[in-house]
Amino acid sequence: MENCIFCRIVAGEIPSATVYEDENFKAIMDIAPAAKGHVIMVAKKHYANLFELDDTVASKALIVARKIAIAIQMELNCDGVNLLQNNGEAAGQTVFHFHIHVIPRYDEDQVTVPWRHTQYGDGEAAALAVKLAARI
Ligand code: 5GP
Ligand code: ZN
């Protein structure tokens, strides 16, 4: 994917501050961080999003994200860590190459991952759970 910025970073054509690399992932400092220490863990192969991942890469992703989260927590002594992974413009995805954000969080920080809580009608959650379960 020659026009994909993350493919170019993985290929070394665009420099990045790398914190971790293995056969499947390259984790780099985000260029416009939510907080100092914000890392993005980028798949080496071009998958546009979560839906395109194969099970092997998907299963390895959380293992690597956890290692990065632990390193961030130990180095920055932050109060919390968010893992965030956006799929589709509606979900806030801006780079259409699979990646996971690992974001250090502090009590009273200004970082927001907000939503307004909605509500189910009577029986709606249970009915939807049945439909979702049928698709897994
Ligand atoms: P998304 O919104 O797709 O989940 O996240 C894309 C992330 O990639 C953003 O946080 C953005 O700051 C980061 N980003 C975009 N271009 C570059 C780049 O060239 N280098 C680095 N290190 N991060 C980038
Ligand atoms: Zn790509």
Percentage of the chain beyond pLDDT 90 is: 96
* Closest residue by CA, ligand 1 atom 24: 31
Annotation says 38 is catalytic:
no
**Ligand 1 atom closest to residue 32's alpha carbon, by position in its atom list:** 12
DSSP-derived 3-state class of residue 104? strand
pLDDT of residue 2: 74
Number of domains in the chain: 1
On whether the CB atoms of residues 105 and 79 are closer than 8 A, the answer is yes
Confidence of residue 113 (pLDDT cuts 50, 70, 90): confident
CA of 135 to the centre of ligand 2 (A): 28
Paired strand residues for 21: 26
**Ligand 1 atom closest to residue 92's alpha carbon, by position in its atom list:** 2
Euclidean distance between CA atoms 46 and 4, whole angstroms? 9
What CATH number did the domain enclosing 70 receive?
3.30.428.10
pLDDT tens digits for 54-85?
999 999 999 999 999 999 999 999 999 999 99
Backbone angles phi, psi at 87, to 5 degrees: -130, 110
Three-class SS of 42-97: EECCCCCCHHHCCHHHHHHHHHHHHHHHHHHHHHHCCCEEEEECCCCHHHCCCCCC
pLDDT of residue 114: 81
Residues spanned by the domain of 20 = 5-135
As residues whose CB is below 5 A from the ion ligand 2, the structure lists 1, 4, 6-7, 46, 97
The Cα angle at residue 135 between residues 126 and 101, in degrees rounded to 5: 90
CA of 66 to the centre of ligand 2 (A): 23
pLDDT tens digits for 27-63?
999 999 999 999 999 999 999 999 999 999 999 999 9
Test site for ligand 1: of 95, 98, 100, most ligand atoms within 8 A of the Cβ: 95
Euclidean distance between CA atoms 92 and 60, whole angstroms? 23
Confidence of residue 1 (pLDDT cuts 50, 70, 90): confident
- Tell which phi-psi region holds residue 133, choosing left (phi > 0), alpha (psi between -120 and 50) or beta: alpha
